[in-house]
Amino acid sequence: MSTENAAVEPTASAAAAPQAEGQRDFIRQIIREDLATGKHHAIRTRFPPEPNGYLHIGHAKAICLNFGIAKEFTGWCNLRLDDTNPGKEDPEFVEGIKDDVRWLGYEWHDLRHASDYFEVFYDSAIKLIKDGVAYVDDLSPEDMRAYRGTLTEPGRNSPFRERSVEENLDLFQRMRAGEFADGAKTLRAKIDMTSGNMNMRDPAIYRIRKVAHQNTGDAWPIYPMYDYAHCLSDALEGITHSLCTLEFEDHRPLYDWFVDKVDLVNHPELWQHLREGGFRTEPAKPRQIEFSRLNLTYSITSKRKLAQLVNENLVDGWDDPRMNTLRGLRRRGFTPGGLRLLIERLGVSKQNSIIDYSILENCIREDLDATAARRMAVLDPLKLVITNLPEGHEEQLTFSNHPKDESFGTRHVPFSRELWIEREDFAEVPPKGFHRLKPEGEVRLRGVGIVKCDELVKDAGGNLIELHCSLDLESRQGMPGADRKVKGTIHWVSARHGVATEVRVYDRLFNVADPDDETDGKTWIEHINPEAKRVVTAWLEPAAAKVDPEQRFQFERLGYFVADRVDHTSDKPVFNRTVTLRDAWAKQAG
């Protein structure tokens, strides 16, 4: 059993809950009605991931919904690991899930595992057998599928369906004892093989799997099926509203069937030992409610495909900033506030839809615009020499850390005769409407003054390597010409003081809106964007480099960047581009 399951009774009350007047959607309306009618006096939810992979952005919606509703209605939310599939689960994923939930800003009431309830599930299965609604089947998995029928044809009863209660009890207990080989026998619910709902055609309850479990070791050679364990876990925890995505809508009749047939509320002998073992449990009948998933363009949320990307080294691990795992998004520099903002704006409905990735990016930009200090960096450097300043010229300029928020304060930025500017801020043959630096042209250096390009320096191959410019000293701050107007302003970094930095320029992992669409003859892997990661050596002002991992900045005119949480050190800075300042993909589409 978990060592983090000591329960504390919620302080929620029906009187306090109606004051939760935040978001309005069909789930919250159901909850308000349940509280108003006295059906429930406290709201209890849970977030129940399977620990067979890291969480992705789709899980963020479920996390925010379950924990958010519990908070709004003064209730509580459990984190439960639905660990019924040994061999695919790993303690690494468990710790990752806990870390991701906390990163999003939530704390659970109890940490539970489905495996905490394995004895209850087993005893409940014995009860179903004794009640004549469960039987041990000898059909192979292949034959079971054949007997199941199709969407247009009813299934057929297994030849083992009418075994006696005594025989079923004997066989199931021998399954528990490890007497049979994997797949040799299955415990199934006896419901209706002609049901129009395929989930009700005598679904499996237990299968034999002689695999060590990450939480219970070799104690069990049989494991409960997800549909069976999930609903009984909800009931054991007293969950009032079991919120899940729309693909589980067809599973709801089975969810209710298991809850009703086992009837934990009226059979305390099935779970009394939990209390004796330290679990405070008050079983109740939960209500399953389905909502639409969070689906994004230019993304995949299949755990199998995410694992394939990792296993085939198509990305640099589960936390690769190109991945839409929460670990990847965090390393990319996405903020919990930005993700919560997205989910709040999308709301909750029963209508499946695909959200454009730009909406997510805009939420991240909005959050970072308010919370990220400004710094200067040059990603594609071109040397600019101010020839009318002396060789050793050096001074400290004062810059605001945030143009919209004085509370961020100011910083000193070193300025010298030789600077780095962005190569794209100069054009020898400027296109129409180009308002940056050009031969004999003028531009304002941010915070310095106006410079004029006097000379181009090229190497033997004709490649531009340096610009020689003159600074209009009268255009400097506090001078009479400081207000002289020029059309362009560019940023810079002092070449003498700048810090060489590895910058990873990230973009969307896929270059088509629907990577799974293979009508163009390409597989989803062939839709991977080859430009999704580009590594450059950039120059940063010193105040941007000597920071802690996960410090976020807006690099002026370039985008939002974050100090990499794994590789960054103050001695060897590494930054990741989180998102551009504007939607570059919309410009491409236009």
- Please provide the size of the chain in residues: 590
User: Which of 277, 295, 311, 270 has the alpha carbon at shortest distance from 121?
Assistant: 270
CB 233 within 8 A of CB 281: no
Residue 277 marked ligand-binding: no
Residue 513 marked ligand-binding: no
Active site includes 33? no
Dihedral sign, Cα of residue 202, residue 205, residue 206, residue 207? positive
- Convert 26-59 to b/e letters by CB count within 10 Å (16 or more is b): ebbeebbebbeeeebebbbbbbbbbbbbbbbbbb
Residue 529 marked ligand-binding: no
Residue 82 marked ligand-binding: yes
CB 581 within 8 A of CB 559: yes
CA-to-CA distance for 138 and 572, rounded, in angstroms? 62
Using DSSP, state whether 127 is helix, strand or coil: helix
Dihedral sign, Cα of residue 302, residue 307, residue 313, residue 319? positive
Residue 410 burial by Cβ neighbours in a 10 Å radius (0-12, 13-18, 19+):
exposed
Find the catalytic residue in 28, 44, 46, 50.
50
CB 379 within 8 A of CB 503: yes
Tokens describing residue 234: 């909800």
- Count of CB atoms within 10 A of residue 303's CB? 17
Helix (H), strand (E), coil (C) string for 16-27: CHHHCCCCCCHH
Backbone angles phi, psi at 136, to 5 degrees: -90, 125
Distances (CA, A) of 30 to 18, 40, 226, 302: 12, 11, 26, 30
Active site includes 50? yes
Beta bridge partners of 111: 79
Residue 127 marked ligand-binding: no
Beta bridge partners of 204: 188
Residue 57 marked ligand-binding: yes
Residue 252 marked ligand-binding: no
Residue 34 marked ligand-binding: no
Residue 168 marked ligand-binding: no
Find the catalytic residue in 293, 504, 508, 552.
293
Residue 497 marked ligand-binding: no
Active site includes 577? no
DSSP 588: H
CA-to-CA distance for 358 and 190, rounded, in angstroms? 49
CA-to-CA distance for 290 and 30, rounded, in angstroms? 12
Residue 51 marked ligand-binding: yes
Residue 293 marked ligand-binding: yes
Residue 424 marked ligand-binding: no
Residue 64 burial by Cβ neighbours in a 10 Å radius (0-12, 13-18, 19+):
buried
Tokens describing residue 451: 């410079």
Residue 60 marked ligand-binding: yes
Residue 11 marked ligand-binding: no
User: Which of 528, 530, 532, 529 has the alpha carbon at shortest distance from 505?
Assistant: 532
Find the catalytic residue in 88, 303, 452, 557.
303
| Annotated binding-site residue numbers for ATP | 50-52, 56-62, 245, 293-294
Binding site per annotation, positions for L-glutamine: 82, 226
User: Residues marked as binding?
Assistant: 50-52, 56-62, 82, 226, 245, 293-294
The catalytic residues are 50, 293, 303
